[in-house]
Amino acid sequence: MRTYLIRRILLMIPVVLGVTVVVFLIIHLAPGDPVLLLVGERAPQEVYDRVKHAWGLDRPLLTQYLTFLGNILRGNFGMSIQMRRPVAELLARAIPVTLELGFSAMALAVVMGVVAGVISAVRSGSVADQATMVGALLGVSVPGFWLGQLLIVLFAIKLQWVPVSGYGGIRFLILPALAMGFADAAVTARTTRSTMLDVIKQDFVRTARAKGLSERVVIYKHALRNAMLPVVTLIGLDLGYLLGGTVVMEEVFSRPGMGRLMIQAILSRDYPVVQGCLLILAVSVALCNLLADIAYVFLDPRIRLQ
Amino acid sequence: MSKRKTRHLVLAAVVVAALLVLTLSAGCANKQAAGPGSEKPRKGGNLTIGVDRETDTFDLYQMTWSAGQAYVYDTLVTRDWNYKYAPGLAESWESSPDGKTWTFHLKKGVKWHDGTPFTSQDVKKHFEVMLDPKTAAANVLDYTWIKSMETPDDQTIVFKLASPFPNLLFKLCQSYGAIQSPAAYAKYGPNGTKEYGTKIAVGTGPMKLKEWIPGDRIVLERNPEYNWGAPWLSNRGPFYLNTLTYRVIPDSATRVAELETGNVQVLLDVPVEHYDRVSKMPNVQVIKQPAFGLGYLAFGTANKPFNDPRVREAINLAIDREALAKSVFFNLVQPAYGYLPPGLAESYEDKNAMRYDVEAAKKLLAQAGYPKGFKTTLATQNRTEHVRAAQAIQQMLEAIGVKADIVQYDEAGYKSFLKSGKQQLFMRQYSWDNADILQWFLESRQAPYPGHSLWKDKKTDELIAAAEGATTPELRTQKYIELEKYLIEQAVWAPLWYPMSIQAVRTDLVGGYRPYPGGGDVFNDVWLKKDIK
């Protein structure tokens, strides 16, 4: 187990390194010049040159990359060109905002999805089942930003239960988490339903019923536990999707998180910020994959690590 | 249900009545600026303005996008409600007959936010730092007219010029032309802790920079010491508001929704597509007025076939500006027939030269050697209205055989593209309230950037030099009008529309807000009718 872990962690290094190279090249080769945006239209050429030099952007790309890499290894993410603050400071502020939304959306998606999936599986064919599946279809099809605006109109403007946008507490989280979690809940519901339907038909469920256990215990203790495996896999895979979803939701609900930071940075060719954000993302995705692999071992003892 | 309806009716009636009172009182042109009714200003509270993007920095040397600087910093000269030059930090000023010496007399008792007294040495030092190449100030070119400065006493600053410069007062009114504390800049600037402009800003203005959460909000708080406001303000003392918050809300629909719920009380820039929704909201006053600016179709005049004035003129004649204003902007802009917005003294229009005349356009193209038209590209930034305008123009140009492929760029990509000098047709919009914008974009030495039109022309340069070096503002105006006539004759641009400023204010929450020319904002006189959570 230990050697496996060490090997996996060592393997992460080339992956992350590869990501930095790709990211660095893409953002630097994209048309657009951060210095032009920084100094504005009214700056003379001398000012432009001086600023470009000050940021080291007049040096060869390879030198710039190696400097960036060297700084990262020393834990220095550099300074934002456009926002004139240390990238680490910007990230430290933005990451919690994004995690808060990502995790609450995920929690909402799991609860809504699993409950809806179980209900429609147990009452397969009933009106409740059909209604849930229509809802799930809607959830998958409706674009998040549009759903977000609908929720704003209903809950923030008409009913005035929650604020329209911003962040700072659970009141601000409800709408974006709903808008983001809805699509995910829909997918979870459909998966839960189909695996539940499979599991319910299996012998051990019949045995449980034959033992005289109550229907509730049969469904929740025996069937659901076994049906959860693919759902857990799905949730793991969804992490990346959720981070992508926050990009849209942070824009609609004006939350100053990683997604917003990244978009702003990409639009203004703020290289250090884009690099910092993507590095964090790459590392966290790699870590999540590792955690998922480890989790399998605990969930299913039949899986062995070599 | 019916109760609610009646309430709406009553509200509507109240709003109509309030608007009537407002228009009537505005018609009387009285000096009392307290807004509708005779309510007394109330102290306290936080007012929130919804903006689509935040400023880049409060460091005046590096700033390129202003939002809030006007309240943190004071300028030597201000502009009053009629856009006339008026005292600011300078109580009065005079210039020598040759126009090369300008003396400004500063107000007494003015203090920096850190409590130290504001003196003429500060002004001198401020501009010295700005002009120092090491500072790499973004707006340095606006102040290169300063040859030297003298400070005979603490309250007097003398600017010595190499040659007369009639536009000097304008430059001293700019938000980036305000005065920031040289002492604070030395301590916290690039040679100090590097916090100046993002965490620390020291000015003499009625508000102090309290907090800036990047991407979220900028909070300014009242400077209780303030009592040196410009004479045209009703409230020359500290703000009535405790705090003024600029909240960044990038999504326009969300911004409008925040206004509707009252969490945001003022929008300084209502998007055209939401105009109807906002104007139907109860308790919201929509202020629509001409902005200083111009949307235009520009040519890479050094590139074929746009180096031929006949081609440029043909394209000018092929565009139906009225239709464009109506279909793309729902008439929330004015069709443009000149190079400068109508609010400026230098504005000059020629409706005949830019009439809609497809036949004449075709003839000109034939004369230029393109009887069947030609293929070209039409570049634009990916701003919704610009893309839609480009699509409308694409159709109009097809009528004269010009087939233009639309190419879209984001802001950064567009700037680099224009700097490359490969542009053919491209959409542009400027927001500026001075005729020197023509110098900025069309003087030969400005090509290719920011002179994206690639216009290199001796006569243009001569006329600009004559205007900018004129001894009197009147002569400057005259020279600029001469220049515009020449530019129209050469069809250097195809002017399209004059933008409008659309602001929205919650009248049930905000008192004392008064429209400022060109869509600017003045919150010194503004107060909140009740506290907002």
DSSP string, B19-37: HHHHHHHHHHT-S--S-ST
Q: For residue A233, what pLDDT is reported?
A: 75
Closest CA relative to residue A253, chosen from B252, B271, B254, B216: B254
Q: Point out the residue among A32, A33, A163 whose CB comes nearest to the CB of B263.
A: A163
Contact predicate A103/A245, CB 8 Å: no
For chain A, the maximum distance between any two Cα atoms, rounded to a whole number of angstroms, is: 86
SS3 B498: strand
In this structure, the answer to whether residues A63 and A105 fall within a common structural domain is no
**What count of other Cβ atoms lies within 10 Å of the Cβ of residue B444?**
14
Task: Give the span between the Cα atoms of B362 and B368, in whole angstroms.
Answer: 10
Contact predicate A305/A4, CB 8 Å: yes
Contact (CB<8Å) A33/B248: no
If residue B521 lies in a helix (H) or strand (E), which one and from where to where? Answer: none
Q: Point out the residue among A44, A94, A261 whose CB comes nearest to the CB of B141.
A: A44
| Cα B466 to the center of its chain, rounded Å | 25
Taking CA atoms, B185 is separated from A50, A220, B149, B387, in Å, by 19, 66, 20, 42
**What count of other Cβ atoms lies within 10 Å of the Cβ of residue B371?**
11
B138 contacts in A (CB within 8 Å)? 38-40, 42-43, 47
In this structure, the answer to whether residues A213 and A146 fall within a common structural domain is yes
- The arithmetic mean of pLDDT across residues B371-395, rounded, is 95
A79, part of any domain? no
Helix (DSSP H) and strand (DSSP E) numbers for chain B: 15, 21
Min distance A210 CA to chain B CA atoms (Å): 57
Q: Alpha-carbon dihedral of residues B353, B356, B360, B366, nearest 10 degrees?
A: 100
Q: Are strands B46-51 and B243-248 parallel, antiparallel or unpaired?
A: parallel
DSSP B142: G
More confident residue, B419 or B15: B419
Contact (CB<8Å) A251/B251: yes
Residue B32, pLDDT above cutoff 70 = no
For chain B, the maximum distance between any two Cα atoms, rounded to a whole number of angstroms, is: 74
Contact (CB<8Å) A31/B416: yes
Nearest CA in chain B to A91: B214
B225 burial class (0-12, 13-18, 19+ CB within 10 angstroms)? middle
In this structure, the answer to whether residues A145 and A247 fall within a common structural domain is yes
Contact predicate B274/B492, CB 8 Å: no
In this structure, the answer to whether residues A69 and A98 fall within a common structural domain is no
Determine the Cα angle at B383 with ends B294 and B451, to 5°: 50
Q: Alpha-carbon dihedral of residues A98, A101, A102, A108, nearest 10 degrees?
A: 180
Tell whether A37 is within 8 A of chain B (Cβ).
yes
Q: For residue A184, what pLDDT is reported?
A: 85
Taking CA atoms, B75 is separated from A50, B181, B243, B327, in Å, by 27, 12, 21, 41
Residue B487, pLDDT above cutoff 90 = yes
Global pTM? Answer: 0.88
- Burial pattern A73-102, b for ≥16 Cβ within 10 A else e, equals eeeebbbbbbbbbbbeebbebbbebbbbbb
- The arithmetic mean of pLDDT across residues B290-310, rounded, is 95
In three-state form (DSSP H/G/I as H, E/B as E, the rest C), the secondary structure along A89-135 is: HHHHHHHHHHHHHHHHHHHHHHHHHHHHHHHHHHCCCCHHHHHHHHH
Q: For residue A240, what pLDDT is reported?
A: 67
Min distance B215 CA to chain A CA atoms (Å): 5
Residue B143, pLDDT above cutoff 50 = yes
Task: Give the span between the Cα atoms of A27 and B6, in whole angstroms.
Answer: 58
Q: For residue B33, what pLDDT is reported?
A: 41
| Residue that has been written with the tokens 């909201």 in this structure | B281
Q: Point out the residue among B134, B136, B415 whose CB comes nearest to the CB of A36.
A: B415
A197, part of any domain? yes
Q: Point out the residue among A33, A85, A252 whose CB comes nearest to the CB of B412.
A: A33
Contact predicate B425/B311, CB 8 Å: no
- The arithmetic mean of pLDDT across residues B69-74, rounded, is 96
SS3 B359: helix
Rounded to a whole number of angstroms, the distance between the first and last alpha carbons of chain B is 28
A188, part of any domain? yes
Contact (CB<8Å) A166/B247: yes
- The arithmetic mean of pLDDT across residues B60-64, rounded, is 92
In this structure, the answer to whether residues A58 and A115 fall within a common structural domain is no
Task: Give the span between the Cα atoms of B485 and B283, in whole angstroms.
Answer: 46
Q: For residue A301, what pLDDT is reported?
A: 67
Q: For residue A295, what pLDDT is reported?
A: 72
Average pLDDT value for chain B: 91
Contact predicate B245/B49, CB 8 Å: yes
B58 contacts in A (CB within 8 Å)? none
Contact (CB<8Å) B261/A31: no
Tell whether A260 is within 8 A of chain B (Cβ).
yes
In this structure, the answer to whether residues A101 and A241 fall within a common structural domain is yes
Tell whether A262 is within 8 A of chain B (Cβ).
no
Tell whether A157 is within 8 A of chain B (Cβ).
yes
Q: Point out the residue among B59, B258, B417 whose CB comes nearest to the CB of A164.
A: B258
A156, part of any domain? yes
Q: For residue A220, what pLDDT is reported?
A: 82
Banded pLDDT at B298 (limits 50, 70, 90): very high
Closest CA relative to residue A182, chosen from A228, A158, A151: A151
Contact (CB<8Å) A160/B57: no
Q: For residue A304, what pLDDT is reported?
A: 65
φ, ψ of residue B426 in degrees (nearest 5): -155, 150
Residue B28, pLDDT above cutoff 80 = no
- Give, to the nearest 10 degrees, the angle between helix B309-317 and helix B358-367: 160
If residue B425 lies in a helix (H) or strand (E), which one and from where to where? Answer: strand B425-431
- Domain boundary, last residue among A39, A73, A107: A73
**What count of other Cβ atoms lies within 10 Å of the Cβ of residue A34?**
22
Contact predicate B221/B208, CB 8 Å: yes
Banded pLDDT at B14 (limits 50, 70, 90): very low
Task: Give the span between the Cα atoms of B438 and B481, in whole angstroms.
Answer: 11
Task: Give the span between the Cα atoms of A301 and A289, in whole angstroms.
Answer: 18
SS3 B487: helix
A160 contacts in B (CB within 8 Å)? 261
- Burial pattern B291-326, b for ≥16 Cβ within 10 A else e, equals bbbbbbbbbbbeeebbebbbbbbbbbbbbbbeebbe
Residue B30, pLDDT above cutoff 70 = no
Q: Which residues of B touch A (CB under 8 A)?
A: 56-57, 59, 62, 64-65, 133-134, 136-142, 197-198, 213-216, 247-251, 253-254, 257-258, 260-261, 263, 409-413, 415-417, 419, 440, 449-450
Q: For residue B295, what pLDDT is reported?
A: 97
Residues of chain B with pLDDT > 90, as a percent, come to 85
| Cα B362 to the center of its chain, rounded Å | 37
Tens-digit pLDDT profile for residues A86-99: 999 999 999 999 98
Tens-digit pLDDT profile for residues B266-285: 999 998 889 999 999 999 99
φ, ψ of residue B503 in degrees (nearest 5): -110, 155
| Residue that has been written with the tokens 């884009």 in this structure | A274
Residue B1, pLDDT above cutoff 60 = no
Contact (CB<8Å) A42/B412: no
Instruction: Tell me how many domains chain A contains.
Output: 2
Min distance A232 CA to chain B CA atoms (Å): 34
Contact predicate B283/B265, CB 8 Å: no
DSSP B200: B
> The CATH number of the domain where A112 resides is what?
1.10.3720.10
Tens-digit pLDDT profile for residues B79-133: 999 999 999 999 999 999 998 999 999 999 999 999 999 999 999 999 999 999 9
A109, part of any domain? yes
Q: Point out the residue among A32, A40, A163 whose CB comes nearest to the CB of B138.
A: A40
Tens-digit pLDDT profile for residues B208-267: 999 999 999 999 999 999 999 999 999 999 999 999 999 999 999 999 999 999 999 999
Banded pLDDT at B355 (limits 50, 70, 90): very high
Min distance B82 CA to chain A CA atoms (Å): 27
Q: For residue A122, what pLDDT is reported?
A: 86
Contact (CB<8Å) A33/B415: yes
Give the tokens for residue B303: 């590139």
Contact (CB<8Å) A33/B417: no
Task: Give the span between the Cα atoms of B242 and B240, in whole angstroms.
Answer: 7
In this structure, the answer to whether residues A65 and A136 fall within a common structural domain is no
- DSSP annotation string for B35-72: -STTPPP----EEEEEESS--S-S-TTT--S-SSHHHH
Tell whether A40 is within 8 A of chain B (Cβ).
yes
A24, part of any domain? yes
A36 contacts in B (CB within 8 Å)? 412, 415-416, 419, 449
Task: Give the span between the Cα atoms of B89 and B79, in whole angstroms.
Answer: 12
Q: Point out the residue among B198, B254, B419 whose CB comes nearest to the CB of A252.
A: B254
Q: Point out the residue among A32, A40, A261 whose CB comes nearest to the CB of B64.
A: A40
Contact (CB<8Å) B412/A39: no
In this structure, the answer to whether residues A134 and A257 fall within a common structural domain is yes
Min distance A153 CA to chain B CA atoms (Å): 8
If residue B105 lies in a helix (H) or strand (E), which one and from where to where? Answer: strand B101-106
Q: Point out the residue among B134, B216, B416 whose CB comes nearest to the CB of A32.
A: B416
Entry field: residues in chain B: 533
Ranking B19-23, B424-428, B489-493 by mean pLDDT, the lowest is B19-23
Task: Give the span between the Cα atoms of B44 and B242, in whole angstroms.
Answer: 5
Task: Give the span between the Cα atoms of A279 and A273, in whole angstroms.
Answer: 10
Min distance A281 CA to chain B CA atoms (Å): 19
B218 contacts in A (CB within 8 Å)? none
Tens-digit pLDDT profile for residues B149-188: 999 999 999 999 999 998 999 999 999 999 999 999 999 9
Contact (CB<8Å) A254/B251: yes
In this structure, the answer to whether residues A140 and A106 fall within a common structural domain is yes
Contact (CB<8Å) A254/B136: no
Task: Give the span between the Cα atoms of B258 and A173, in whole angstroms.
Answer: 16
A269 contacts in B (CB within 8 Å)? 412
Tens-digit pLDDT profile for residues B307-334: 999 999 999 999 999 999 999 999 999 9
Strand arrangement, sheet containing B90-95: B90-95, B101-106, B156-161, B146-153
Q: Which residues contact A63 (CB under 8 A, 6 or more apart)?
A: none
SS3 A231: helix
Closest CA relative to residue B175, chosen from B91, B80, B104, B71: B71
SS3 A214: coil
Determine the Cα angle at B442 with ends B441 and B443, to 5°: 110
Tell whether A88 is within 8 A of chain B (Cβ).
no
DSSP B342: T
Tell whether A92 is within 8 A of chain B (Cβ).
no
Task: Give the span between the Cα atoms of B529 and B40, in whole angstroms.
Answer: 9
Give the tokens for residue A255: 């939350």
A163 contacts in B (CB within 8 Å)? 261, 263
SS3 A174: helix
DSSP B469: T
- Domain boundary, last residue among A73, A105, A134: A73
Task: Give the span between the Cα atoms of B475 and B99, in whole angstroms.
Answer: 13
In this structure, the answer to whether residues A63 and A155 fall within a common structural domain is no
**Number of CB pairs, chain A paired with chain B, less than 8 A apart:** 137
Contact (CB<8Å) A84/B440: no
In this structure, the answer to whether residues A230 and A113 fall within a common structural domain is yes
In this structure, the answer to whether residues A125 and A52 fall within a common structural domain is no
ipTM: 0.86
Residues of chain B with pLDDT > 70, as a percent, come to 93
A63, part of any domain? yes
| Residue to substitute from A37, A155, A164, interface B, most B β-carbons within 10 A | A164
* Residues spanned by the domain of A167: 94-267
A294, part of any domain? no
B209 contacts in A (CB within 8 Å)? none
Q: Are strands B85-87 and B90-95 parallel, antiparallel or unpaired?
A: unpaired
Q: For residue B67, what pLDDT is reported?
A: 86
Nearest CA in chain B to A87: B214
One digit per residue, the tens of pLDDT, for chain A of length 306 reads 678 888 888 888 898 889 889 888 888 888 888 998 888 888 888 899 999 999 999 999 999 999 998 998 898 999 999 999 999 999 999 999 998 998 899 889 889 998 999 889 888 888 888 988 898 888 888 888 899 999 999 999 999 999 999 988 889 999 999 998 888 889 889 988 998 888 888 888 888 888 888 888 888 888 887 887 777 777 777 776 677 778 889 999 999 999 999 999 998 899 999 999 888 888 888 887 787 777 777 766 666 655
Tell whether A165 is within 8 A of chain B (Cβ).
yes
